[in-house]
Amino acid sequence: MKINFRNLLIVNLLVVFWSCQAEIKRPEVQIIPQPASVTNMEGTFSISSQTIILINSESPDMRKVTSCLTKRLEDFYQIKNKISFSGAAEKKSIFIKLNTGLSIPKEAYNLTVSPKGIMLEASSPNGLFYGVQSLLQLMPPIQQNLSEVVVPAVEIKDLPRFSWRGLHLDVGRHFMPKEFILKYLDNMAIHKFNTFHWHLTEDQGWRIEIKKYPRLTEVGSVRKETLVGHYGSNIYDGVQTGGFYTQDEVREVVAYAADRFITVVPEIEMPGHSLGALAAYPELGCTGGPYEVATTWGVFDDVYCAGKEETYAFLQDVLAEVIPLFPGEYFHIGGDECPKTRWQKCPLCKQKMKDEGLRTEHELQSYFVQRMGKFLNENGKKFIGWDEILEGGLAPNAAVMSWRGENGGIAAAKEHHYVVMTPGEYCYLDHYQADPKTEPLAIGGYLPIKKIYGYDPVPASLSQEEAKYILGAQGNVWTEYMKSPEQVEYMVYPRAAALAEVIWSPKGTKDFDNFKIRLVRLSKLYDILGINYCKSEFKQ
Ligand code: TNX
């Protein structure tokens, strides 16, 4: 046979063209956080308005899962799908199957995309929700009218490494409007975070309505001005500022979070960081005041008086109103940064120490925390506090949030207490993420995204048995230097994406270069969603 080189060349070109087409047609699987197992397969599946979403359960939880999917298809691509209740998969459909008999953990899911259809299966709605989040990341990060959305064929088997995947927000230093809290929750869900730690009371403002004590919000939520620049500048802006959430608004936030399978953990700080409350009810301090809602940052000597029974009665009343608003398992009672200066001089505190046989003010703090913890336990809550609650003796069933490094967490885990890791060096999203010279003013520190990405929440010094007490990790967002929702987003994203992978993905699968490639894609979604993320990582 005579070979015609011209024809061969054409055939070659066609082959190259087809294979390129095929490559273009099969988008890459780029998900954050990286799933536990991803098997790429040949081909794609196209979702159009003809694609039926099949479900095998019609519970409210199932509706949350499906509406997350249908809303995205409609909002981004103008594709409207029918949802149909059915027992089995059909060709070319998306089958969302709740299979309570499936022996995989609560938040795990299996997602199979093939040219014949999509099958998502989990043992609980939580797992299905995360499966949907992954499916959404298989779709193109564009907002455009499309007749079909092409997703790559793939088999994903996924489950989280940790059960506490937290993001915190301090609304005491700067109040954040409810609408922003809702957006914060939306963005958390995309990253498969499941715990929102809402820091609600501070020296600079009390942010939650308490019906029995109206002055907490009338007086305690407003400060007359705010420090300008860094601590110690002694320059103030002269602008009165404040804000708080009504109990109805809190209920709305908690329900909105639940729709995204996020638990809200409230924090009512005690015994320190309490000037907001003391300004409203000065009789609760050792000196009786008067006190002012703080206008600067830092740690203040005036804290709740541990010697007065009125303090405990007040806090129990407050907790009694707050507890029913939050259905989650845990309640946070602060416990950090409580100077003992006033207690040392206070006759009532001294008397209390005598009566209770307490030798040091640290033991008095421990008494305080244990007493309030007991009240929480009696009212159906577990409690968690910052690692200072270890000082002077840890309450028998308290969980610890380790922030001053990992040592507090390690000590607690060794004593078989549950721990959430939030060491400042790795988890403080208020620290600078790039060169301070080019960044908006922040509290200090330096935590580039790569450093968070490299964090492992289980310290090497723990045995396998002790490591089971590490519930997970959390990013903390203290807002001294974040005046607006935009600034909060700037500090949180994209670093929270790195943290999400730390907490979700299996140990040993992390690869920062690969993460960065996936992050470029995720940032396109941030653009569409109007997230004001920091772009320094994308420059180079
Ligand atoms: C320490 S972390 C605090 C906060 C500050 C933060 C600033 C913790 C339990 N207490 O009150 O806002 O540092 O980084």
> Is the distance from CB of 198 to CB of 264 less than 8 angstroms?
yes
383 lines ligand 1 (CB under 6 A): no
> Does the beta carbon of 252 lie inside 6 Å of ligand 1?
no
Name the residue of 197, 478, 491 to mutate for ligand 1: max ligand atoms within 8 A of Cβ. Answer: 478
Query: What is the rounded CA–CA span in Å between residue 172 and residue 276?
Result: 9
Distances (CA, A) of 119 to 94, 99, 494: 6, 12, 30
Per residue in 498-509, pLDDT (tens digit) is 999 999 999 999
Q: 368-418, pLDDT tens digit by residue?
A: 999 999 999 999 999 999 999 998 888 888 999 999 999 999 999 999 999
Distance CA 208, CA 383 (A): 19
| DSSP β-bridge partners for residue 517 | none
DSSP class of residue 324 equals G
- The closest residue, in CA terms, to atom 7 on ligand 1 is 478
* Residue type at position 96: I
403 lines ligand 1 (CB under 6 A): yes
Helices and strands of the chain, counted as H and E runs = 18, 21
CA atoms of 190 and 497, how far apart (whole Å): 9
Distance from chain centroid for Cα 164: 9
- Cβ contacts of 398 within 8 Å, gap of 6 or more: 369, 370, 373, 383, 384, 385, 389, 417
State the closest ligand 1 atom to the C-alpha of 337, by its place in the atom list counted from 1: 10
Place of tokens 């459909």: 93
Atom 4 in ligand 1: residue holding the nearest Cα? 478
Q: What is the pLDDT of residues 272-282, one digit of tens each?
A: 999 999 999 99
- Please give the number of the atom of ligand 1 that sits closest to the Cα of 299: 11
What is the 478 CA–ligand 1 centroid distance (Å)?
A: 7
Nearest residue (by CA) to ligand 1, atom 2, is: 403
pLDDT at 8 over 90: no
Q: Which residue CA neighbors atom 6 of ligand 1 most closely?
A: 478
Ligand 1 nearest atom to the CA of residue 479, by list position: 12
- The half-sphere exposure of 324 on its side-chain side, counting CA atoms within 13 A, is 8
**Half-sphere exposure for 22 (CA within 13 Å, toward CB):** 10
Q: Which residue has the tokens 């600078």?
A: 432
Exposure string for 311-349, b = 16+ CB within 10 A, e = fewer: bbebbeebbeebbebbebebbbbbbbbbebebbeebebb
Q: Give the pLDDT score at 133.
A: 98
Q: What is the mean pLDDT of the chain?
A: 95
Residues 6 or more apart whose Cβ sits within 8 Å of residue 19:
none
- Element spanning 39, H or E: strand 37-48
Atom index in ligand 1 nearest the CA of residue 444 equals 14
Cα 457 to Cα 387, 403, 423: the distances in Å are 15, 12, 9
Block residue for tokens 């010094």: 461
- Ligand 1, atom nearest to 428 Cα: 14
CA distance 385 to 396: 13
In testing the pocket of ligand 1, which one of 336, 421, 426, 477 has its CB within 8 Å of the most ligand atoms?
336
Q: Residue 1: is its pLDDT beyond 50?
A: no
**Which residue, among 37, 250, 263, has the nearest Cα to 164 in the 3D structure?**
263
Distances (CA, A) of 235 to 9, 229, 232, 439: 75, 8, 8, 21
| Contacts of residue 255, Cβ cutoff 8 Å, sequence gap at least 6 | none
DSSP code of residue 387: G
Model pLDDT for residues 192-242, shown as the tens digit of each residue: 999 999 999 999 999 999 999 999 999 999 999 999 999 889 999 999 999
Q: Which two three-digit tokens encode residue 289? A: 């005041």
pLDDT at 247 over 60: yes
| Ligand 1 within 6 A of CB of 430 | yes
Say if ligand 1 is within 6 A of residue 425 CB. Answer: no
